[in-house]
Each structure stands twice: as C-alpha cells, then as structure tokens.
Amino acid sequence: MEGKGRLQQRVNGRCWHGAGACCYVAIVIVLVWTAGTRFLPFVHAQVPVISADRFAGLEWTFVRIRYQSESANETRFRRSWNAPWAIDAPAAEQNLSRRLKTVTAIQVNDPVVITLNDERLWEYPWIYIVEPGNLHLREEEVPRLREFLLRGGTLTFDDFHGPLEWEHFVKEIGRVLPDREIVNLEPDHPIFSCFYTVERYPQIPGLGAFFSGRTWEKGGFVPRLRAILDDNGRAMVLINWNTDMGDGWEWSNAEEYPGFIQYTRQAYRMIINEIIYALTH
C-alpha cells in the first residue's frame, strides 16, 4: 500500500519530505488568541547549533494517539478530552507546532488524533502517546505498532512518573517489542545536539507540582530519557520518564505563569531535538 511505502523509505535511510516549496522561516512570532486555546508568546531560546534552513524539505505532523486506558469507565475515556490520552490537548500540540514552524524550515502540518488501527498511521513518521502509565494496548494494536516502529517510525512517550507507572509501561511496551532492551540516552547521544545543545536532560514539572514547589511527582525524582533501539542503533521509541514535557508546551504563556518560563524553554528545546532526530535518523 502507498502509505506503507512512504514509511518503508525510512528503512532505506531516507527521510520523509514535504511536497511544497521550501522557504526560510522569519524570526517573528505573532501572538494569536483563539477561544479555548492557550497559544504561546515568544520565549527566548538559545541559538541552535545547526542552521534552521538545513531541515527545509522535511515534513512533520503532531500525531496524538488515542488509546484505551485502564479505566473502568472506558466510554468516557474514549470520548472525552479529559481522558489520559488527551492530556494537555489541544493546546500542547498547537503551541509546539507553532514553535517548530518558527524555529525551523520544516513543513509543519495541523495536528491530528488517530488510533493505532487507523490506516493513516502509515502516513506519519512520528507519533505521540501521553501518560502511558494508563496505556492498555488492544491485541490488534500490538502488531501494528511493532510494524510501524520496525518500518522506521518513531514513537515518543511523555508524562509518566515513578516506579509503579514505569512497571506498567514496561509491561505494555514489552508486548510490542519483547526482545528489545530499554537503554538510557546520555547527553553525549546525538539527540542532545542535533539542533539545540542540551547539556542535561530536563525535569519539567506538571503545573500541579510546580504550584507545590516541586519538579517531581509520584516518587519520580530523577528524570530520564530512555529509548528502544532498532537493529541499526536508531532510537525508535523515545521515553520521557519522570518529566512532563506536555505541560511545558501547554502552559507556555509566560504572562500567565511567569515562573514557569524556564521549564517552557527547556521543554521546547528537548522535544524539538527529539523530533529532528526522529526525522533525520
């Protein structure tokens, strides 16, 4: 099928490319307010180590995966924006998409929400699952996710904390990739320098923890960027553990929460590096 053919290009060492003409991105941000959506004002970011126009021709879409949770009230969790799979939406993906479009020449499309059973899965190189401490993969989703990853796709997990949620996550991802080891990605890994120079993996607090004067929750004291690698050493699963990147994008309105700006900056830098790594490896 054509969609799977696009995904297969990654296995052959190629990246997804945008269809439109490439352009340089102006370093100007217009603050736009839309009802019900929290858009970000400009937050100063360090100059990336690689010229932004290098990535002209790449294409990216924020693809949020809608999943079944462990909740007994499954109907509510499937349909409600308060469900675990929908945490931080839609502001997080809208703000992140605007930021990536501003600081790179990547063609950024409108965010989408799909399930792993959706045939559109094969059209995208990068997908996102939030709060995997609540994740329960359906039987038919397991082989599809495995195929997506082994064909060259990248899955980013975010916003789960502590040993109990980690234990549940390991069980679920083990159904997909039972023979693959989970490894730590240290600051000397290319993902920490492929766009911004990130010297240390950040712990981004959820807003509730921030208001309590903490950066951690649920016993997750030490933040880790972990990964599962394919046969060529590519990080095909990126695991943001003991950190809440999504809150960093969602609440990036510095006027509303001025003390949160330091975490917003760190969250954007780290995830943009992760996205560019996914699109170029």
Structural Rg of the chain based on CA atoms: 18
Residue of higher predicted confidence among 19 and 82? 82
pLDDT of 30: 31
Its pTM stands at: 0.82
CB contact at 8 A, 218 and 165: yes
Local confidence band at 33 (pLDDT 50, 70, 90 cut-offs): very low
Residue 170, C-beta contacts closer than 8 angstroms, at least 6 positions apart: 182
Instruction: Answer whether residue 50 shows pLDDT above 80.
Output: no
In the numeric block, which tokens belong to residue 20? 């439109």
The residue extents of the domains of the chain are 2-280
Mean pLDDT lowest among 23-32, 57-66, 181-190, 257-266: 23-32
Share of the chain above pLDDT 90, in %: 69
User: What distance lies between CA 67 and its chain's CA centroid?
Assistant: 15
Q: Where are the alpha helices (DSSP H) in the chain?
A: 2-8, 74-79, 91-103, 141-150, 162-176, 207-211, 245-250, 261-280
Mean pLDDT lowest among 60-64, 133-137, 209-213: 209-213
Instruction: Kindly state the greatest CA–CA separation across the chain.
Output: 51
pLDDT, tens digit, for every residue of 213-267? 999 999 999 999 999 999 999 999 999 999 999 999 998 875 777 889 899 999 9
pLDDT of 80: 58
User: CA 181 to CA 185: how far, in whole Å?
Assistant: 12
pLDDT of 116: 99
pLDDT of 251: 83
Calculate mean pLDDT across residues 11-15: 40
pLDDT of 31: 31
User: CA 195 to CA 198: how far, in whole Å?
Assistant: 9
User: CA 50 to CA 276: how far, in whole Å?
Assistant: 11
pLDDT of 51: 67
Instruction: Answer whether residue 152 shows pLDDT above 50.
Output: yes
In the numeric block, which tokens belong to residue 59? 């294409």
User: CA 109 to CA 59: how far, in whole Å?
Assistant: 8
User: CA 129 to CA 147: how far, in whole Å?
Assistant: 17
Tell the burial category of 22 from Cβ atoms under 10 Å away from its Cβ (0-12, 13-18, 19+).
Answer: middle
CATH of range 2-280; options 3.40.50.12140, 3.40.1160.10, 3.30.413.10, 3.90.850.10? 3.40.50.12140
User: CA 108 to CA 102: how far, in whole Å?
Assistant: 10
Element (H, E) at 236: strand 235-241
Closest CA to 56 of 92, 98, 94, 108: 108
pLDDT of 135: 97
User: What distance lies between CA 158 and its chain's CA centroid?
Assistant: 7
CA dihedral 240, 130, 248, 234 (to 10 degrees): 40
pLDDT of 71: 54
pLDDT of 104: 95
pLDDT of 248: 94
What phi and psi values does residue 40 have, to the nearest 5 degrees? Answer: -95, 145
CB contact at 8 A, 65 and 237: no
Average model confidence (pLDDT) across the chain: 84
Residue of higher predicted confidence among 11 and 83? 83
CB contact at 8 A, 121 and 148: yes
User: CA 155 to CA 178: how far, in whole Å?
Assistant: 16
Calculate mean pLDDT across residues 135-161: 98
